[in-house]
Structure 1
Amino acid sequence: MAVVAVFNQKGGVGKTTTTLNVAAALVMLERQPILIDLDPQAHLSLALGLKNLPGHVCASAYFLHDKPLAGLVRKLPNGLRIIPGHPDLAKVDSMLGGVKGVAAKLRNGLNQLGGDNSPVLMDCAPALSVLTLNALFAADRVLIPVTSDYLAMQGLHRTEIALRVLEKPLGRPIERRMVITRYAEDKPQCRDALATLKQRYQEELTEAKIADDLALAESPAHGMDIFAYAADSTGAHDYRVLTMELLSKGFFE
């Protein structure tokens, strides 16, 4: 089971969009991913049309009440499986922040899933909370979406520092890939950011880029991934290419 955290300490860079559409592309490629929504805002769940769910069927039930993760996996008509997010996740820091070994809680829960070789993708909030630390401790790899503006580049730098700090207690390197999102070839700012990222991160930056496509912003309001909403769009093409690139590099193995 490959476990991937989608994370950046900067908000608004396309983490949820990337989690959703990479998972949808994996389904199209006959993989069976499991999504975990670890953001108290539950945007990933909302983007899949899951609204007003009770807390006892969501990820918060595992963290706050020790309900087994396997019992929280919800299968959707589009082939995706998800453990939904819930506002109660906001209570995790205050209730579990002082508990010894809490950062390993999610990793232990995933180990108990057992027997399922499906990739797991976790959508993380843009903060180093207890939930995010759980995701990073559980993750084999981290996928980092980044936009081409100054603040996003600074957020990427802080994210890199955080990952390096976490590698010490983990006792292993954290493999990561960066993907540039909301890219517009005609904007000098985007081209400059791409050149900077290539120089700084080299093979850690994916060759695939995600275009600034309106359809990607519209699809969540319809409870749909980009392939269901606009299969012929630039955004659909880009996420398909990104997913195939990651698969070819063994990112989900």
Structure 2
Amino acid sequence: MRIAIFNQKGGVGKTTTALNLGAALNRSGNPPLLIDLDPQGHLSSIHGKAPLDANQSLFSFFQEQHTLRELEVDWEHIGRLIPAHQQLIKVDSIFGKGPAILNKLRHGLDALEESQPDRQCLIDCCPYIGVLALNAIFACDCLIIPVSTDYLSLQAADHITRTLQVLEPVMKRRVNRYYLLTRFDRRRRMSDDVRNKLRERYGDDVLDTVISENVTVAESPSLNQDVFRHNAGSTGAHDYRNLLGELVERGSLPVTMR
């Protein structure tokens, strides 16, 4: 199963969700592959020891210098990572937007999964629609859209939904998607307002799990740790365990929990 994590608004928890959902999968006995598809490389920087050379990053895959398998690096306590590089920002201008480049990641993952069909894949996307994000959308089985509890993030979710409606006739399928509320503060009325509006618009596509505003979630990336390693008893760790459980229950992560 391939899950892309995408929102066109920054600061909503895309990378944090990729990191901690990956860690939750690993703790359940299902170490995933994480792909950093963002030229900013935040996920790769959290790894701490990912290669810094563009030729050892996902950019090399787009240049057809390496296969995805050749670019994987081990990530202790998580699984495996294919790192990003700032050179990814050039993909749009170098390769254009033809079908071959838009489907490149999908075809690469098809080949990679022939030998590891049961491994889950999480894709951390860049916060804008371009060749990179389109590669993720075309490749994924499911899209998680993190929505922080503010009105601008709600507008961004609406924009993504309209974008998907435009793309789906081209893809000839509906992209399965879930809206995940992040930075949820139960003391603020706005959090409940955003949740209610999201449910009115998208119904069952809104996940029941919310990711609470939590110090441990915010601090852990700066320590090159996931939320479980930083504080497994924290509210944030509890929320990400619940997220994994809900995705498994909904059938979007076909894994056996331990």
TM-score range, shorter chain: over 0.9
Aligned to 2:105: 106
Question: 8 Å contact 1:7–1:124 — kept in the other structure?
Answer: yes
Distance of 1:204 and 1:79 partners within structure 2: 27
CA contact (8 A) 2:19 2:226 kept: yes
Could you tell me whether the CA contact under 8 Å between 2:51 and 2:83 is conserved in 1? no
Please name the residue that 1:12 is paired with.
Answer: 11
Question: TM (normalized to structure 2)?
Answer: 0.94
Structure 1 position 248, deviation (Å)? 1.2
State the Cα distance separating 1:80 from its structure 2 match: 1.6
Give 5+ residue unaligned stretches, structure 2. none
Q: Once the two structures are superposed, what CA deviation does each residue of 1:185-220 show, in whole Å capped at 9, x if it has no partner? A: 110010111111122211101111000001111111
- 1:45-194 equivalence runs, <5 A: 45-50=44-49, 53-113=52-112, 114-116=114-116, 117-194=118-195
Q: How far off its partner does 1:47 sit?
A: 1.6
In the alignment, the residues of structure 2 paired with residue 71 and residue 125 of structure 1 have an alpha-carbon distance, to the nearest angstrom, of 22
Q: Which secondary structure does the structure 2 equivalent of 1:224 belong to?
A: coil
Distance verdict in 2 for CA 1:43–1:172, change over 3 Å: same
Query: What is the DSSP-based 3-state SS (H/G/I as helix, E as strand, rest coil) of the residue aligned with 1:177?
Result: strand
Alignment CA distance shift 1:98-1:241 (3 Å): closer
Structure 2 counterpart of 1:201, one-letter code: Y
Judged with a 3 Å threshold, the aligned counterparts in structure 2 of structure 1 residues 99 and 163 are, in CA distance, closer, same or farther, namely: closer
Q: What's the counterpart of residue 34 of structure 1?
A: 33
The answer as to 2:241 corresponding to 1:240 is yes
Structure 2 CA distance, aligned partners of 1:169 and 1:200? 24
- Give ranges in structure 1 of 5+ residues lacking alignment: none
Moved over 3 A (4+): none
Could you say what secondary structure the match of 1:123 adopts?
A: strand
CA offset digits 1:132-179 (Å, max 9, x no partner): 111100011101100111110110000101111111111011000111
CA deviation map 1:39-97 (0-9, x unaligned) = 00000111222356111211111012341001111112214211011111111111011
Local SS of the residue matching 2:123 = strand
**1:231 corresponds to:** 232
How many residues were matched structurally? 252
Assess if the C-alpha contact under 8 Å between 1:4 and 1:122 holds in 2. Answer: yes
Output the CA distance in 1 between the equivalents of 2:129 and 2:167: 11
CA contact (8 A) 1:210 1:238 kept: yes
CA apart distance, 1:10: 1.1
